[in-house]
Amino acid sequence: MTNDLFLRACRREEVERTPVWMMRQAGRYLPEYRAIREKTDFLTLCKTPELAAEVSLQPVDLIGVDACIIFSDILVVPEAMGMELIVEEGKGGPRFPSPIRSRGEIEALGVPDPNSALRFVMDALRLARKRLDGRVPLIGFAGSPWTLATYMVEGKGSKTFRHLKELVYSNPRDAHFLLEKLARSVAAYLNAQIEAGAQAVQIFDTWGGILPPDEFREFSLRYIQQVLQLLRRNGAPVIVFCKDCSHSLEAIADTGPEVIGLDWTMDIGKARMMVGSSVALQGNLDPTMLYAPPEKIRQGVKSILEKFGKGSGHIFNLGHGILPDIPVEHAKALILAVKEESPKYHR
Amino acid sequence: MTNDLFLRACRREEVERTPVWMMRQAGRYLPEYRAIREKTDFLTLCKTPELAAEVSLQPVDLIGVDACIIFSDILVVPEAMGMELIVEEGKGGPRFPSPIRSRGEIEALGVPDPNSALRFVMDALRLARKRLDGRVPLIGFAGSPWTLATYMVEGKGSKTFRHLKELVYSNPRDAHFLLEKLARSVAAYLNAQIEAGAQAVQIFDTWGGILPPDEFREFSLRYIQQVLQLLRRNGAPVIVFCKDCSHSLEAIADTGPEVIGLDWTMDIGKARMMVGSSVALQGNLDPTMLYAPPEKIRQGVKSILEKFGKGSGHIFNLGHGILPDIPVEHAKALILAVKEESPKYHR
pLDDT digits (tens, 9 = 90+) for A287-334: 999 999 999 999 999 999 999 999 999 999 999 999 999 999 999 999
> Average pLDDT for residues A113-129, to the nearest whole number?
98
* C-beta of residue A290 within 8 angstroms of C-beta of residue A297: yes
| pLDDT tens digits, B11-65 | 999 999 999 999 999 999 999 999 999 999 999 999 999 999 999 999 999 999 9
Chain A residues with CB-CB distance to B319 below 8 A: 212
Residues 313-332 of B with CB under 8 A from A: 319, 323, 325
pLDDT of the residue at A320: 98
* C-beta of residue A161 within 8 angstroms of C-beta of residue A215: no
Mutate to test the interface with B, among A289, A290, A301, A320 (most CBs of B within 10 A): A289
Q: Which of B169, B291, B303 sits opposite A162 (nearest CB)?
A: B291
| pLDDT tens digits, A8-57 | 999 999 999 999 999 999 999 999 999 999 999 999 999 999 999 999 99
Indicate whether this complex's ipTM tops 0.90: yes
pLDDT of the residue at B76: 98
pLDDT of the residue at A309: 98
Query: How big is chain A by its Cα radius of gyration, in Å?
Result: 19
The answer, yes or no, to whether residue A246 has pLDDT greater than 90, is: yes
10 Å CB burial of residue B241 (0-12, 13-18, 19+) is buried
> Average pLDDT for residues B257-261, to the nearest whole number?
98
10 Å CB burial of residue A173 (0-12, 13-18, 19+) is exposed
How far is A57 from A53, CA to CA, in rounded Å? 6
Catalytic residue among A33, A151, A189, A223: A151
Is A103 tagged catalytic? no
The answer, yes or no, to whether residue B276 has pLDDT greater than 90, is: yes
The answer, yes or no, to whether residue B89 has pLDDT greater than 80, is: no
Amino acid at B326: I
pLDDT of the residue at A337: 98
Does any CB of chain A come closer than 8 Å to the CB of residue B265?
A: yes
**Does A244 sit within 8 Å of B170, measured CB to CB?**
no
Is B233 tagged catalytic? no
Cα atoms found within 13 Å of the Cα of residue B32, Cβ hemisphere only: 15
The answer, yes or no, to whether residue A91 has pLDDT greater than 80, is: no
Q: What angle do CA A164, A167, A173 make, to 5 degrees?
A: 130
CA-to-CA dists, residue B10 to B20, B182, B312, B314, angstroms = 12, 26, 9, 7
Instruction: Please tell me what DSSP assigns to residue B199.
Output: S
pLDDT of the residue at A210: 98
How far is B137 from B5, CA to CA, in rounded Å? 9
How much is the mean pLDDT over chain A? Answer: 97
The answer, yes or no, to whether residue B93 has pLDDT greater than 90, is: no
Does any CB of chain B come closer than 8 Å to the CB of residue A161?
A: yes
Residue B90 confidence class, pLDDT cut points 50, 70, 90? confident
* C-beta of residue A251 within 8 angstroms of C-beta of residue A232: no
The answer, yes or no, to whether residue A79 has pLDDT greater than 90, is: yes
Is B151 tagged catalytic? yes
How far is B20 from B314, CA to CA, in rounded Å? 9
> Own/partner pairs for A174-178, CB < 8 Å, 24+ apart?
A174/A103, A174/A106, A175/A149, A175/A219, A176/A219, A177/A103, A177/A106, A178/A100, A178/A106, A178/A109, A178/A149, A178/A152, A178/A153
pLDDT of the residue at B318: 98
Catalytic residue among B4, B8, B17, B73: B73
> Average pLDDT for residues A229-255, to the nearest whole number?
98
Does any CB of chain B come closer than 8 Å to the CB of residue A298?
A: no
Q: Which of A170, A286, A291 sits opposite B293 (nearest CB)?
A: A170
**Does B291 sit within 8 Å of A267, measured CB to CB?**
no
Three-state DSSP at A259 gives strand
Percent of chain B with pLDDT over 70: 100
Amino acid at B19: P
How far is B205 from B304, CA to CA, in rounded Å? 23
Which residues, at least 6 apart from A15, have a Cβ–Cβ distance to it below 8 Å? A5, A8, A9, A312, A346
pLDDT of the residue at B91: 72
pLDDT of the residue at B1: 80
pLDDT of the residue at A90: 74
pLDDT of the residue at B281: 98
Which residues, at least 6 apart from A213, have a Cβ–Cβ distance to it below 8 Å? A247, A248, B265, B266, B267
Q: For residue A214, give the chain B residue with the closest CA.
A: B267
Element housing A317 (H / E)? strand A314-318
Which residues, at least 6 apart from A257, have a Cβ–Cβ distance to it below 8 Å? A203, A228, A237, A238, A239, A240, A279
How far is B189 from B121, CA to CA, in rounded Å? 9
Q: What domains appear along chain B, each with residue ranges and CATH number?
A: 5-346 (3.20.20.210)
Does any CB of chain A come closer than 8 Å to the CB of residue B212?
A: yes
How far is A227 from A215, CA to CA, in rounded Å? 18
Three-state DSSP at A315 gives strand
